[in-house]
Structure 1
Amino acid sequence: MVSPAQLPFEQSHPLQVAPQLRALQSQGAVHRVRTAVGHEAWLVTDYAHVRELLADDRLGRSHPDPQNAARTGESALFGGPMGDFATEHTDHARMRALLQPHFSPKHMRGLRPRIDALTTQLLDNLANSQAPADLHAAIALPLPILVICELLGVPYDDRDQFRAWTEAAANIDDRAVSEQGLGNLFGYGMRLVEAKRREPGDDVISRLCATDGVSTEEAAMLSMALLFAGHETTVVQIGLGALFLLTSPDQWTALRNDPTLVPNAVEELLRAPGKGGGGIPRYARTDMEIDGVGIRAGDLVLLDNGAANHDPAAFTEPDRVDITRKAAAHLTFGHGLRYCIGAPLARMELQAVFSQLIPRFPTMRLAVPVECLTIRGDVLTGGLTALPVTWDR
């Protein structure tokens, strides 16, 4: 019997598919793997099955015996089961109903001018700085934090503090560090909610506080979940998106020559990363079969949306970045009832960055060889540690 493949797969180049993942994809859709903490799981790597299973209610985030469930890592956030097995679907529907109004298309459209203005301000600061500079620190990191702070009503001056807590909570190597970070973040959320109850503002946390039936604890939990998800992943996507364009001069030039391609380019830049193996964790709620493979109730199933986004059956030449690509919808934001609620916000931020960055810095280029860049392996979201760039003045 073949031994399970060990996650995470080695990815020697930040822009290339891990060779072991590509080898598995060529062998089928479902693979036995061992997670970073040594637990066995099933890895699903093809587009059709990942898309279908993301919307399959036979899979969930909870487990009937969470203490003995397989884990992907040591993170207290997503390393193991979440929620109550008996009420998971009802609880998730309630959460969506509470949060969806704050991310409606109309509300998101109202944010666009402010996102554009914040982007301009950060690019002004970059233009006035000395080259080379770190694009991660100058744009990718501060923009999503500024936006989510304004949306939620979180003081931007607290960014270093809550950023440290979110990074600790996302730690996949040390459970104690993750639990401490999560506890600090929740405590911070409780203090914010109590302050908003005393002095409400025009922000999401204040509106959650004013919603009937929402306790202080629930408002704090939802708010901090939004704070985490609302900036961590977008920071990563801006950095990697910029890297893909900087290493594809023809695509950079095409966007410079035709800015109307930006929305389409953003979808391609969202599709392109995520090639190290892993994906979205789910637990089988019942015995089931995936592509002829028997899955037992309680098994950990990893829906590798990154691998699915590089499935040749869904995307022609999947490893090539093509900002004019017209192909099947990527799965970066998931699919079905758990589709990322903040997807419209992330898209607007990415569009703001790439519609302004390229005209402002047409000669921008990497200041170091791409092989010198490093991807974080200690936190859930990964992403670049830095993105040194330079440009002609």
Structure 2
Amino acid sequence: MPKRIQTPTGDNAWQVTGHAEVRALLADTRLGRSHPDPANAARSSESALFGGPLGDFDTEPADHARMRALLQPHFSARRMAALGDRVDALTAELLDGLAGQSQPADLVQLLAVPLPVLVICELLGVPYADRDQFRAWSLAAADTTDRARSEQGLADLYDYGTRLVALKRGEPGDDVISRLLAVDGVTDPEIAGLAMSLLFAGHETTVVQIGFGALLLLTNPDQRQAMAENPDLIPNAVEEMLRAPDKSVTGIPRYAREDLEIDGTLVRAGDLVLLDIGAANHDPAVFPDPERFDITRRTAAHVSFGHGGHYCVGAPLARLELRSVFSGLVTRFPTMRPAIPLADLRIRQDVLTGGLVELPVAW
């Protein structure tokens, strides 16, 4: 049953935590990201990106379907298979670099950050030399406490995308932006927006997941040993890493497009509904003993990538990177361990994606 809560911005919202309800509502077209009166809509945070309404209420379903149709081909099984060797090579280079570092070394800065950034740069045709700039803009855009900073970060990302599109129009390459430019009827501003959405979502969430996944492995040596002895467990282990962290603070924001009932509770059109992915992934009715990290668990039902029409387009890429990282990590660093007490680890509290500030390790 949804719970009435107050968000950090002081607005009222419905929070949904049960797995069955969250999964169903993720695919329910009666909920959306837009609002008929965005200026007066309830907010979940001060993030310009994810704290309030996005998009045009009248055209959201069609706009969303168009966006997915444009992006889906770039994350097909064929394209991901072709990218696999390159991801493995980039991972190996980073692990070589890590092995040469003095100890303790920060796994976040040496592995979790650079791999997704390198991969998304290659995919989009973005210069890796710009990484510090666009990562700073991404973190600013994800700020949940300072709306002005978040809006500026989002504007900086879009301006950067606009410049990239202009550059690619003159000098196309073998990348997503160039391929989108070849599609009839797609405008340059549209491509800039799509590209920057991919740039943000395609690296920041995977950075966070690598950090949390590594921490789970390092604190569960029996599970790490099982992965090392049986590489066939790695795909399922990655799914458990996606499920296990309780990352949600309040939940993914949606707005009711019409009056609807959620588990017997009437939710009015325009109400803010927060779908708590972390709580859903820890629902004991679906995941017995949910706090236990178990790489042999049946994890197919986790909702970390969403469900239905809002299922993450980039999920195949994230899985590709995570499998490569953790396959290499358990093989190359069988004795790796956290180098500081777990109580001293810090989680980012002011950005949408959360994630570890650092993860000092030794081996």
Assess same fold via TM > 0.5.
Answer: yes
Confirm or deny that 1:34 pairs with 2:6: yes
Separation in 2 of the partners of 1:103 and 1:252? 29
Q: Tell me: CA distance 1:344–1:276, structure 2 relative to 1, closer, same or farther (3 Å).
A: closer
- Of the candidates 312, 331, 335, which is equivalent to residue 303 of structure 2? 331
In structure 2, the residue matched to 1:9 is none
Separation in 1 of the partners of 2:221 and 2:152? 43
In structure 2, the residue matched to 1:110 is 82
How far off is 1:254 after superposition?
1.1
Instruction: Name the SS for the 2:274 alignment partner.
Output: strand
In structure 2, the residue matched to 1:74 is 46
In structure 1, the residue matched to 2:161 is 189
RMSD: 0.8
Q: Contact 2:34–2:53 at 8 Å: present in 1 too?
A: yes
Instruction: Name the SS for the 1:90 alignment partner.
Output: helix
Q: Contact 1:315–1:328 at 8 Å: present in 2 too?
A: no
* Superimposed CA distance per residue, residues 184-229 of structure 1 (whole angstroms, 9 cap, x where no aligned partner): 1111101000000000000001111111111111110000000000
Q: How does 1:344-383 map to 2 (within 5 A)?
A: 344-383=316-355
In structure 1, the residue matched to 2:237 is 265
- Of the candidates 218, 227, 231, which is equivalent to residue 255 of structure 1? 227
In structure 2, the residue matched to 1:221 is 193
Separation in 2 of the partners of 1:39 and 1:321? 35
Separation in 2 of the partners of 1:188 and 1:310? 38
Separation in 2 of the partners of 1:327 and 1:360? 26
Gaps of 5+ in 1: 1-28
Q: Contact 1:33–1:40 at 8 Å: present in 2 too?
A: yes
Separation in 1 of the partners of 2:122 and 2:215? 27
Q: How does 1:382-393 map to 2 (within 5 A)?
A: 382-391=354-363
How far off is 1:42 after superposition?
0.4
Q: How does 1:22-101 map to 2 (within 5 A)?
A: 29-101=1-73
Confirm or deny that 1:315 pairs with 2:287: yes
TM-score of the pair, normalised by structure 1: 0.91
Separation in 2 of the partners of 1:110 and 1:276? 33
Q: Contact 2:6–2:13 at 8 Å: present in 1 too?
A: yes
Q: Contact 2:103–2:362 at 8 Å: present in 1 too?
A: yes
Equivalent residue letter for 2:77: P
Aligned length: 363
- Of the candidates 212, 216, 219, which is equivalent to residue 240 of structure 1? 212
Q: Contact 2:247–2:354 at 8 Å: present in 1 too?
A: no
Instruction: Name the SS for the 2:210 alignment partner.
Output: helix
Confirm or deny that 1:177 pairs with 2:183: no
- Of the candidates 157, 167, 180, which is equivalent to residue 208 of structure 1? 180
Q: How does 1:5-24 map to 2 (within 5 A)?
A: none
Q: How does 1:128-139 map to 2 (within 5 A)?
A: 128-139=100-111
Identity %: 68
Runs of 4+ deviating beyond 2 Å: 274-277
TM-score of the pair, normalised by structure 2: 0.99
Separation in 2 of the partners of 1:280 and 1:37? 15
Q: Contact 1:102–1:204 at 8 Å: present in 2 too?
A: yes
Q: Contact 1:118–1:143 at 8 Å: present in 2 too?
A: yes
